[in-house]
Amino acid sequence: KNSSSARRRVAIIGGGLVGSLSTIYFAKRGWEVLLFELRKDPRLEDKTSLSQRSINLALSARGISALKNAGSNLDEVVLSQVAPMKGRMIHRRKGGLLSQLYGVFGECIYSVDRATLLGLLLDDAEKSENVKIYFEHQLKQCDFDARVLDVENKNDGTISKYEADLIVGADGAYSTVRSQLMRVVRMNYQQEFIPHAYCELTIPPKKNAKGEFEFAMDPNHLHIWPRHTFMMIALPNLDKSFTCTLFMPYEKFDAIKTEDDLITFYQLYFTDAIPLIGEQNLKRDYFLNPKGSLISIKCDPYNYKDRAVIIGDAAHSMVPFYGQGMNCGFQDVEILDKIFEQHNINSQKPEININTFNTNSAKEQENDDMKFRKDLERALDEYTRYRHIDVTTICDLAMYNYIEMRSSVISPIYITRKKIEEWLHWLFPSRIIPLYPMVSFTDMRYSDAQRRWKRQNFLINVIAGSTVLATFAALVLGLRCGRCNIQNVNYKD
Ligand code: FAD
C-alpha cells in the first residue's frame, strides 16, 4: 500500500503508551503516520471486566516533560487525572507506619491509571489528519532494505504489504521489530528474568460514618510492605481504591496452594493489609489474577541505517522498581524528536510538478531524497549513541532499587544516611541532590545522575562516619561524666 501524499511516511509498530506518544510527535512534525496495534482499541473494552481492573503507573518528571512537549496541553490533561504521591509509607511487619518523603521541597510522583492514560494518548493522536490507526493488526516481518512491512489483519487473517520511509518499533519487551532488526544488524542483546513474579490485588474504598466512600489508607503516599526477600506495594487510584502489587520469588507463590495457606501467609507478613483488601477479595484476586514475570533487556544499537529504530520497552525493558519504564520510554520519544530537530529532518517530500516534469527536476528529487536518507541515518545513529548509556544505567538502577524498596528502607543505617542526604540537599539544593529526586524530579541524564550519586556518596559516607564517631564519642564522654556525677553525688552525700 503506497502513499500518494507528499509527506514522508513512518510506520509505528505498537500502540501502547510509547507508540501512541510517538505517533503524536511524528504527526506534529508533519509525517504521515500509520500506527499498527495488535490488540483491540482499548477504549472500547468493557471497563467492568476483570481484565480491565485498574492498573496504575507512577508518572514523574521525564514523562511529564515528554507529555508537555507533545503539545495540546497533554501534560495538563493527564495531570488532571492523577493521584499525587509525596513519599513512601512503610508498613512495618509488627505494625506501625513510617512516612519517608521523596523530596524535601514537596515534590511528588503521580499515580495514573494505565488505561486512562493510553486512552488520552490515542484520542490526541487521532485528532491529527496525518494519523491512521490500525487496531488488531500485527506486524509479521519487515524487509528493511525494501522499506516494506508485512502486517496481518487479525480479523480476517489477510496479510498486506505497507511501505514506509521509517519503521519505529514500540512493540514492547517481546518486540518483533527488534527480532527482525537482529537479522540485519550486529545487535548486542542481553536479557535477564529475575526470580520474582508479581500479582495485582485491590484495596477497595471504604465507607465512612456518613456512608461516603473514602480511601482506606493515606492517599498521598506509595505504600510499601518491605519484607526483605519480597514486598507488597500499593498506589492510589482516583476512584479511592488502591492497586496493590505483590512481588515475590516464584517458589513463594508456588508454595501458597490453598486459601488457608494464603491467609496464614498474609497473617504472618501483611497483617494490616487483610482487613484493607478484605479476606474474600484477597482469596479471589490472588488465585484469579495472573502472575507476571519480570524481565530486564538491554540491547545495542537501536537503529538500522535510516530504516528503523526501536524505542520504549522494545529497546530497554526494566524491572519496575524505579517506576521509570514508561517515563524512560516517553523520554526516548522526546529525545528522538529533539535529535530530528537538530538534524533538520524534513517530513515533506519535494513535490514534482507533472506539467513541467523533466530530467532536472527528477534529479533534484533524487538528490533531496539522498540528503534526507543521509540526515535521517545520522540522526538515528546519534540517537543510539546518545541514549544507550542512559538506558542501560536506568535498567541497572531499577534492579538496585528493588533491594532498597524491599529491604534497605527499614534499616537504621539507610534511614540515617537518607536524613543526612536530605539535610545536605535542603542546605545546598543544586549541589547535593539524592538519587531518587535526580531520577524522578529532573530530566538530568540517567548516567549523569548515577555519576553524581556516586560522588555524593563519598561525602555522605564521610559525614555519616563522622556522625557515628561523634555520637560514639559523646556516649563515652557522657558515660564518664555520668560516673563523675555519681561520684560527685556520693562525695557530697
Ligand atoms: P508496551 O506497553 O508493552 O506496548 C507495546 C504494544 O505493542 C502493545 O500494545 C502490544 O499489543 C503491541 N504489539 C506487540 N507486538 C506487536 C506486533 N507484532 N504488531 C503490532 N503490535 C504489537 N513504568 C513507569 O514509568 N512507572 C511505573 O510505575 C511502572 N510500573 C510498572 C509496574 C509493573 C508491574 C510493570 C510490569 C511495568 C511497570 N512499568 C512502569 C513499566 C511500563 O509498564 C512499561 O515501561 C511501558 O508500558 C512500556 O510501554 P511500551 O509502549 O514501550 O510497551
From the CA of 313, how far away is ligand 1's center (Å)?
A: 6
Mean pLDDT, residues 21-29: 97
Mean pLDDT, residues 477-487: 64
What pLDDT does residue 467 have?
75
Point out the least confidently predicted range of 198-202, 248-252, 298-302, 399-403. Answer: 399-403
Q: What is the mean pLDDT of the chain?
A: 91
> % helix / strand / coil in the chain, to the nearest 5?
45, 25, 30
What pLDDT does residue 50 have?
45
- What confidence category does residue 490 fall into, taking pLDDT thresholds of 50, 70 and 90? very low
- Testing ligand 1's pocket by substitution, the residue of 78, 171, 294 carrying the most ligand atoms inside 8 A of its CB is 171
Which cell is 52 given? 480491565
From the CA of 265, how far away is ligand 1's center (Å)?
A: 31
Q: Which atom of ligand 1 is nearest to the CA of 173?
A: 3
From the CA of 172, how far away is ligand 1's center (Å)?
A: 5
- Testing ligand 1's pocket by substitution, the residue of 109, 313, 394 carrying the most ligand atoms inside 8 A of its CB is 313
- CA 52/CA 446 separation, integer angstroms: 33
What residue's CA is closest to ligand 1, atom 46?
Answer: 326
Mean pLDDT, residues 390-409: 90
What pLDDT does residue 354 have?
58
Q: ∠ at Cα 223 (325, 47), nearest 5°?
A: 65
From the CA of 320, how far away is ligand 1's center (Å)?
A: 11
Point out the least confidently predicted range of 22-31, 159-168, 418-427, 460-469. Answer: 460-469
Is the pLDDT at 412 greater than 90, yes or no? no
In three-state form (DSSP H/G/I as H, E/B as E, the rest C), the secondary structure along 410-470 is HCHHHHHHHHHHHHHHHHCCCCCCCHHHHHHCCCCCHHHHHHHHHHHHHHHHHHHHHHHHH
Is the pLDDT at 413 greater than 80, yes or no? yes
Residues whose beta carbon lies within 6 Å of some atom of ligand 1: 13-19, 36-39, 57-58, 138-139, 170-172, 176, 198, 245, 292, 312-313, 320, 323-327, 329
Mean pLDDT, residues 69-81: 96
Phi-psi region of 137 (alpha: psi -120 to 50; beta: other; left: phi over 0): beta
Point out the least confidently predicted range of 78-92, 172-186, 360-374. Answer: 360-374
DSSP state of 320: G
- Which domains does the chain show, CATH number per domain? 9-42+57-84+112-192+296-403 (3.50.50.60), 411-492 (no CATH)
Is the pLDDT at 355 greater than 80, yes or no? no
From the CA of 241, how far away is ligand 1's center (Å)?
A: 23
Angle between helices 325-342 and 359-406 (to 10 degrees): 150
From the CA of 193, how far away is ligand 1's center (Å)?
A: 16
What residue's CA is closest to ligand 1, atom 37?
Answer: 320
- What confidence category does residue 486 fall into, taking pLDDT thresholds of 50, 70 and 90? very low
Q: Which atom of ligand 1 is nearest to the CA of 326?
A: 25
What residue's CA is closest to ligand 1, atom 36?
Answer: 320
- Testing ligand 1's pocket by substitution, the residue of 17, 141, 222 carrying the most ligand atoms inside 8 A of its CB is 17
- CA 136/CA 152 separation, integer angstroms: 8
- What confidence category does residue 403 fall into, taking pLDDT thresholds of 50, 70 and 90? confident
Q: What interface predicted TM-score (ipTM) does this complex get?
A: 0.99
From the CA of 14, how far away is ligand 1's center (Å)?
A: 9
From the CA of 420, how far away is ligand 1's center (Å)?
A: 37
Is the pLDDT at 3 greater than 60, yes or no? no
* 194 vs 463 pLDDT, higher one: 194
Q: Which atom of ligand 1 is nearest to the CA of 245?
A: 34
- Testing ligand 1's pocket by substitution, the residue of 25, 38, 162, 167 carrying the most ligand atoms inside 8 A of its CB is 38
From the CA of 16, how far away is ligand 1's center (Å)?
A: 6
What pLDDT does residue 1 have?
63
From the CA of 329, how far away is ligand 1's center (Å)?
A: 9
